[in-house]
Amino acid sequence: MKVLGIVCSPRKGGNTEVLVQEALRAAAEHGAETELFSVAGRDLRPCDGCAACRRTMKCHIKDDMQALYPKLAEAQGIVMGTPVYFYSVTAQAKIVMDRTYLFLRNATNLRGKVGGVIAVAGRAGAGNANMLMEGFMVLHRMHPVGGLVAHSGGAGVAEADPEENPQADKGRVAGDERAMADAFRLGRNVVRQLQRDGVK
Ligand SMILES: Cc1cc2nc3c(=O)[nH]c(=O)nc-3n(C[C@H](O)[C@H](O)[C@H](O)COP(=O)(O)O)c2cc1C
């Protein structure tokens, strides 16, 4: 059983990474093989809508999505995490979602995979981001088992203070016991669902 964690923050070692890592730690403790893919420092280009993938089953854009495709295909569980950017997911998270268009109606697809979503906001908008990721999973006929909303206490958009160190909240969520416990539970629940589905 493989569980893939996708960290959609461009900030290495940030709050999203902390929580996705915690979910993967739980998944590993409960018997899954785990892997983390971070978008940080990756070359990820947006879908150009050519839709050729519906015919060719391949994406012609040669960037780091090519490394993610086989990982998505092989994993039975997918935990996707994003920071909240302007009440939404990051641009990188949106690229990852859009570029999975090739899995629709493909013999290799995301159907039946078990999902979990994690959104971390400074203050507001995490529910919205989770809803977007869950919608993505539902459209792929995946089975999302839950979502985690966390707050890092960083500047939100409306509240951004030019005097504040914008990196002050980096990794701060590691000190939020409740968020960490929720992340652990999410990883465990992904594995439990996979076990119920008969995945070894
Ligand atoms: C461009 C940008 C937009 C942001 N928009 C929001 C927002 O709409 N609401 C909010 O509460 N926090 C917002 N934040 C704060 C981040 O969501 C917060 O710092 C989060 O913990 C970052 O996660 P990371 O450490 O995984 O990158 C924004 C940060 C950036 C850089």
Residue ranges making up the domain that contains 161: 2-196
- Is any ligand 1 atom within 6 A of the Cβ of residue 120? yes
159 — pLDDT class (breaks 50, 70, 90): low
Start-to-end CA distance of the chain, whole Å, equals: 5
Residue 7, pLDDT > 90, answer yes
What pLDDT sits at residue 161?
73
111 — pLDDT class (breaks 50, 70, 90): very high
Cα(95) to centroid of ligand 1, in Å? Answer: 18
pTM for the model stands at: 0.96
Write out the DSSP string of 135-167. Answer: HHHHHTT-EEEEEEEEE-----STT--TTS-TT
Torsion of CA 156, 157, 161, 165, to 10 degrees: 60
pLDDT digits (tens, 9 = 90+) for 15-74: 999 999 999 999 999 999 999 999 999 999 999 999 999 899 999 999 999 999 999 999
What pLDDT sits at residue 157?
67
What pLDDT sits at residue 35?
98
Pocket test for ligand 1, best of 118, 157, 159 (most atoms within 8 A of CB): 157
Give the pLDDT mean for 132-136: 98
Atom of ligand 1 nearest to the CA of 121: 17
Atom 22 in ligand 1: which residue has the minimum CA distance? 83
CATH code assigned at 19: 3.40.50.360
- Is any ligand 1 atom within 6 A of the Cβ of residue 152? yes
- Is any ligand 1 atom within 6 A of the Cβ of residue 189? no
Question: What does the mean pLDDT of the chain come to?
Answer: 95
What pLDDT sits at residue 168?
84
What pLDDT sits at residue 166?
76
Alpha carbon separation from 100 to 5, 37, 151, 186 (Å, rounded): 16, 15, 28, 23
- Is any ligand 1 atom within 6 A of the Cβ of residue 9? yes
Overall number of domains in the chain: 1
What pLDDT sits at residue 160?
67
